[in-house]
Amino acid sequence: MAEECEELTRALSGLGGLGLEEKSVAAAMGRWRRRPEMLDQFRRSFGGLFKGDDGSFERVDMDYIHLLEFELARFKNLMLQWLMHPWERDARWAHHAIHKGDSPTVLVEIACTRTPVELLGARKAYCSLFHRSLEEDVAYHISGSHSYFLVLLVSSYRYDGPNVNEEMAKLEAKVLHNAIHKAAAKGSLLSEEVLRILTTRSKPHLRETFKFYKQLFGKFIEEDLIKVPYIIETVESINSAPAYFCKVIDAALKDGVDQDSKEALTRVIVSRSNIDMLEIKGEYLKKHGTKLEDELQKFSRGVYRDALLSLVAGNE
């Protein structure tokens, strides 16, 4: 009897993780339907979900119930996001980031890891769904010194071809270096020139620029941008989307992370499952020495875990 109670307790104790063991709960329902004494013992033993009242019965802790509801919703959210058109999905993620207090880093991710056509599609979907433009909502609702940069980023339509002017890339590596160090010395924001380069140049051009930055100045540009919010994520995601997404996934699989980080796991795996998941898995293995599938198996639970694993394996 005690072992059965412990099994159900474990199934409902995934609140630091991702998802719940729905199958174990359903199995307990079947086994215990004619054994009310089992539920009585479970209620007495599971102090997290239940708390004493006046001694006559154990009542649920509503704070814990809200957390359970959140965990149970993970698979539903994943399924709905998977079903949506990618443009609508990105538009809704952007809207949530702007209006519900999520990190604006989601906007950087959408602006920098989608193709120009995909970003334009997300902007069209945003107008259709919310009757405002994405850029006007970013400008109006996101406060802080970097809101202008985010507006430029989501408004961009970059050249998407392979041509790169190496001399211009080398020159702009010097421009970036000088501007970054001048801003750091003054404790000020980065210049209009830096914002222009990062928000208008093509991704191949910027990768070449970042390569010259390392060659000319002996360090990666990310090292000089370490304290600049949103701009370092821009550089990382443009430089290597798989490496950037590997970093986002790794953050989501750590103990004690916030809900934004956990939700990012769903977002990344749904949006990249049929694009560059093989490359992301390769980056994860190279960086951590373990397979992404094994980490998902360890940290996630139930049908949510099963869905994640299906999407991760989907394009092999």
Provide the residue-wise pLDDT of the chain in tens; the chain has 316 residues: 677 777 777 777 655 567 877 777 777 777 877 787 877 787 777 777 777 665 667 777 787 787 778 788 888 999 999 999 999 999 999 999 999 866 789 999 999 999 999 999 999 999 999 999 999 999 999 887 788 999 999 999 999 999 999 999 999 999 999 998 887 666 666 788 889 999 999 999 999 999 999 999 999 999 988 777 789 999 999 999 999 999 999 999 987 788 888 889 999 999 999 999 999 999 999 999 999 999 999 888 889 999 999 999 865 5
Per-residue pLDDT at 55: 64
Tell me which fold the domain 242-312 belongs to.
Answer: Annexin V; domain 1 (1.10.220)
Per-residue pLDDT at 140: 93
Topology match between the domains 86-228 and 242-312: yes
| Global confidence as pTM | 0.87
Q: Would you kindly state where each structural domain of the chain is located, as residue ranges?
A: 2-73, 86-228, 242-312
Eight-class DSSP state of 14: G
Amino acid at 288: H
Per-residue pLDDT at 16: 55
Residue whose token pair is 């995934």? 14
259's tokens: 């809900």
Distances from the Cα of 181 to the Cαs of 147, 171, 228, 242, in angstroms?
21, 16, 12, 28
Architecture of domain 86-228: Orthogonal Bundle (1.10)
- Do residues 183 and 171 touch, judged by C-beta distance below 8 A? no
Per-residue pLDDT at 257: 80
Per-residue pLDDT at 229: 78
